Amino acid sequence: MTTQFIGKQDFTVSSQTVSESCPSNIALIKYWGKYADQMPANPSISFTLNHCKTNTAMEFVAGEPFSVKTFLVGNEEAKFAEKIEKYFKNIEQYLPWILKGKYIIRTENTFPHSSGIASSASGFGAIAKCLMKLDNTFTGKINEDESLKKASFLARLGSGSACRSLYNGLIVWGETDEVEGSSDLFAVSYPDTEIHEVFKNFNDWVLLIHEGQKSVSSTVGHGLMKTNPYAERRFQEARENFVPMKEILKTGDMDRFIKLVEHEALTLHAMMMMSDPAFILMKTGTLEVINKIWDFRRETHLPLFFTLDAGANVHLLFPNDGSEEEIKTFINAELLQHTQKNGVVKDVMRF
Ligand code: DP6
Q: What is the 3-state secondary structure (H, E, C) of 211-253?
A: CCCCCCCHHHHHHHCCCCCCHHHHHHHHHHHHHHHHHHHHHCC
Taking residues 317-322, report their average pLDDT: 97
CA 243 to centroid of chain Cα atoms = 22
DSSP classification of residue 181: T
Find out whether the beta carbon of 161 lies less than 6 Å from any atom of ligand 1. Answer: yes
Return d(Cα 125, Cα 129) in angstroms, integer: 6
Q: Is the pLDDT of residue 211 over 80?
A: no
Residue whose Cα lies nearest atom 5 of ligand 1: it is 160
171 Cβ contact partners less than 8 Å away, ≥ 6 residues apart? 25, 45, 46, 47, 48, 164, 165, 187, 188, 189, 190
Find out whether the beta carbon of 48 lies less than 6 Å from any atom of ligand 1. Answer: no
Q: What's the predicted TM-score (pTM) here? A: 0.97
Return d(Cα 278, Cα 117) in angstroms, integer: 22
Rg (CA), the chain: 20
- Number of C-beta neighbours around residue 244 at 10 A: 15
Find out whether the beta carbon of 27 lies less than 6 Å from any atom of ligand 1. Answer: yes
Residues 156/185, Cβ–Cβ less than 8 Å? yes
Find out whether the beta carbon of 139 lies less than 6 Å from any atom of ligand 1. Answer: no
Taking residues 303-320, report their average pLDDT: 96
Q: Is the pLDDT of residue 206 over 90?
A: yes
Find out whether the beta carbon of 124 lies less than 6 Å from any atom of ligand 1. Answer: no
**What pLDDT is recorded for position 114?**
63
Find out whether the beta carbon of 83 lies less than 6 Å from any atom of ligand 1. Answer: no
Atom of ligand 1 nearest to the CA of 124: 7
Q: How far is the CA of 63 from the centre of ligand 1 (A)?
A: 35
Atom of ligand 1 nearest to the CA of 34: 5
Of 134-143, 204-213, 239-248, highest mean pLDDT:
239-248
User: Which helix (H) or strand (E) covers residue 292, if one does?
Assistant: helix 284-300
* Mutation probe of ligand 1 site: the residue of 44, 154, 218 with most atoms within 8 A of C-beta: 218
Return d(Cα 232, Cα 226) in angstroms, integer: 9
Q: At what angle do helices 78-90 and 144-158 cross, to 10 degrees?
A: 120
Angle at the Cα of 315 (from 310 to 321), degrees rounded to 5? 150
Find out whether the beta carbon of 159 lies less than 6 Å from any atom of ligand 1. Answer: yes
**What pLDDT is recorded for position 142?**
81
**What pLDDT is recorded for position 58?**
98
Q: What's the mean pLDDT when you consider all of the chain?
A: 95
Residues 91/184, Cβ–Cβ less than 8 Å? no
Q: How far is the CA of 178 from the centre of ligand 1 (A)?
A: 22
CA 190 to centroid of chain Cα atoms = 15
Q: How far apart are the first and last CA of the chain?
A: 31
3-state secondary structure at position 274: coil
Interval 85-115: pLDDT, tens: 999 999 999 999 999 999 999 999 998 876 6
Find out whether the beta carbon of 118 lies less than 6 Å from any atom of ligand 1. Answer: yes
Angle at the Cα of 339 (from 337 to 340), degrees rounded to 5? 115
Least confident of 8-12, 155-159, 318-322, 333-337: 8-12
Find out whether the beta carbon of 222 lies less than 6 Å from any atom of ligand 1. Answer: yes
Q: At what angle do helices 144-158 and 119-139 cross, to 10 degrees?
A: 130
24 Cβ contact partners less than 8 Å away, ≥ 6 residues apart? 48, 49, 52, 53, 54, 111, 117, 118, 119, 121, 122, 165
Q: Is the pLDDT of residue 304 over 70?
A: yes
Q: How far is the CA of 222 from the centre of ligand 1 (A)?
A: 8
Return d(Cα 51, Cα 122) in angstroms, integer: 11
Atom of ligand 1 nearest to the CA of 268: 1
